[in-house]
Structure 1
């Protein structure tokens, strides 16, 4: 279904309705209409625009893809970009699909979400499933008092769920880093592990870019001029959203440091393995040098009875060299030299 409309009635029953069955003039202080447009085609958008009496260019500004805030006096329009969702992207927890993989803003799984907000109604527009919107609706198991909220207050609540998706993505990245750290400590370092670290670093960078690009919206919604759009009393909600937005940015910055720390662990592990290899090579060189010294000693030009023992003398010398090498290896392993 391209359009779903939900009528929240605090004095009655919350229900899904058809737009043709709703009269905007009949919406009272205990009613709130949420129109969720799930297909960004011109016909559907025009139907919603005509129903609400919106400005003719209200959707045109949404095509730019920027997270911008626009004031139309009786309502406001803004857009945000959701965090990548594992439900809508095909990459694993440790892979990042290149920007040409059919994703918005070059990030797989992210969705551009537009809001048009007035006093008693709210419109959301998106092309694909948005988990935060779905989860908001699924939390209601009975009739609620949501109808008492204004459109601005409901938008603030949805934006809070929207930021929650960024916190969840940060948690998924940290889980991927933990798994990668375990592999670095358990396995021999390889180019594939380094490639996964680069992918995680790029994933964090793109996540930060998505969120920081929305600073204009979150800061703009808390400005005094926005409070004049309607007498909704939602200004305190948007002020708290600014603090939550800044915490989300800080969490992403911290996650970037975690990824860098994983790379430092990788380099330390690589250095340790290099040192172990150098120790082994040094020890083997010492054994070979010792054996070469014995062989050189046996080849001196002195006439001794031992040099006339033939095959028996050769076997004794060779066996002695092998025995000395084995004892040296066992002793080195006992001392953790190799």
Structure 2
């Protein structure tokens, strides 16, 4: 019996570490709850948020039972969705959204965030850490007025934070583009081609992760999704949908940035090629002039010039060198090379 009791205590502590439960009250008396105290809010001005940050179907099932979540919705919440989704079971809405994280080197990784929202209850489940969730908990630590929010309005806030992860990723992408363009202008070509390839993959990855959310955000903002929503809640979802469209435009712009960087790279290559060709053309003209002189001096006829022995030879060499020096001075002055 002692062993069973200690096992239960250990399971309880593990559940409390994995499930962050906060009860927000309209009067500002917010408090943290443990799993053994979990139950639906008894006041309309209270909002309960349960955040589960590890892969534990058993813990999700326990939370769903305590908060009277429909069994079909519980299965949906605990499952590993492969794409953004929007569902409704009874009075609960269920959302799957992908939050993006920049791991460095233009490598973007998505983490699925599952959200369930019912009367005065919001449940979030994610199998890996998502940076904005602890930031939100830390920001709202202490006495707040979040209890005044309805569950759908709080979901709108979570989705808005979720979209900010894409804006942060786009900002990191733009910084990488700026650094690449600086290296291109400095003449680093070998690394530039590899970096351009990474930029292209990064832009495509961001778009593939964000674009499928279109059905989720447009669905939430339609009045037929939940006819009982008030105008305030519908307004919140419409603003989040507008935020999504701005995020989508920013992600689409990353592809334009890649194209612009490639054009800059191509132009720099063309400029360097033109510079090399100018030098080669100039050298060809000079060598051609000297060849004409040497050819004229090599004609097979008698002239007093050919009787000057070594003096004539060195005089011809001096003329050739002089022509080369004068031409180089003129080319440098005209900035031909």
Fold equivalence (TM over 0.5)? yes
Equivalent residues of 1:222, 1:239 under 8 A apart: yes
- May I ask how many residue pairs the two structures share in their alignment? 319
The structure that is helix-richer by fraction is: 2
Q: Which residue of 1 aligns with 2:35?
A: 19
Q: Which residue of 2 aligns with 1:114?
A: 114
Shift of 1:79: 0.5
Deviations 1:59-94 (A, max 9, x none): 5444232211111112111100012x23xx2x32xx
| Counterpart among 78, 103, 111 of residue 95 in structure 2 | 78
**What does 1:102-181 align with in structure 2 at a 5 Å threshold?**
108-140=108-140, 142-181=142-181
Q: Which residue of 1 aligns with 2:273?
A: 274
Q: Which residue of 1 aligns with 2:185?
A: 185
Q: Which residue of 2 aligns with 1:104?
A: none
Deviations 1:221-258 (A, max 9, x none): 12223333666952211111111111211222233223
Q: 2 CA distance for matches of 1:159 and 1:21?
A: 28
SS of the residue corresponding to residue 55 of structure 2 reads: coil
Q: Which residue of 1 aligns with 2:336?
A: 337
Equivalent residues of 1:67, 1:214 under 8 A apart: yes
Q: 2 CA distance for matches of 1:174 and 1:298?
A: 64
Higher alpha-carbon deviation: 321-330 or 268-277: 321-330
Higher alpha-carbon deviation: 114-123 or 327-336: 327-336
Q: Which residue of 2 aligns with 1:286?
A: 285
SS of the residue corresponding to residue 225 of structure 2 reads: helix
Deviations 1:153-182 (A, max 9, x none): 111011111112212222222222222222
Deviations 1:77-127 (A, max 9, x none): 1100012x23xx2x32xx44xxxxxxxxxxx32211110111211111112
Higher alpha-carbon deviation: 282-291 or 59-68: 59-68
1:243 maps onto 2:249 in alignment = no
Answer with 1 or 2: which has the greater Rg: 2
| TM-score between both structures, scaled by the size of structure 1 | 0.86
SS of the residue corresponding to residue 43 of structure 2 reads: coil
1:53 maps onto 2:52 in alignment = no
Q: 2 CA distance for matches of 1:44 and 1:229?
A: 30
Equivalent residues of 2:81, 2:112 under 8 A apart: no
Q: Which residue of 1 aligns with 2:4?
A: none
Distance of aligned partners of 1:229 and 1:68 in 2 relative to their CA distance in 1, 3 Å threshold: farther
Which 4+ stretches in 1 moved above 6 angstroms?
none
**What does 1:299-310 align with in structure 2 at a 5 Å threshold?**
299-304=298-303, 306-310=305-309
Distance of aligned partners of 1:140 and 1:49 in 2 relative to their CA distance in 1, 3 Å threshold: closer
Higher alpha-carbon deviation: 108-117 or 200-209: 200-209
Q: Which residue of 2 aligns with 1:103?
A: none
| TM-score between both structures, scaled by the size of structure 2 | 0.86
Equivalent residues of 1:74, 1:229 under 8 A apart: no
Structure 2 unaligned spans of 5+: 1-16
Deviations 1:285-320 (A, max 9, x none): 111111222222222223445545555544443343
Shift of 1:183: 2.3
Distance of aligned partners of 1:144 and 1:196 in 2 relative to their CA distance in 1, 3 Å threshold: same
Q: 2 CA distance for matches of 1:157 and 1:247?
A: 16
Structure 1 unaligned spans of 5+: 97-107
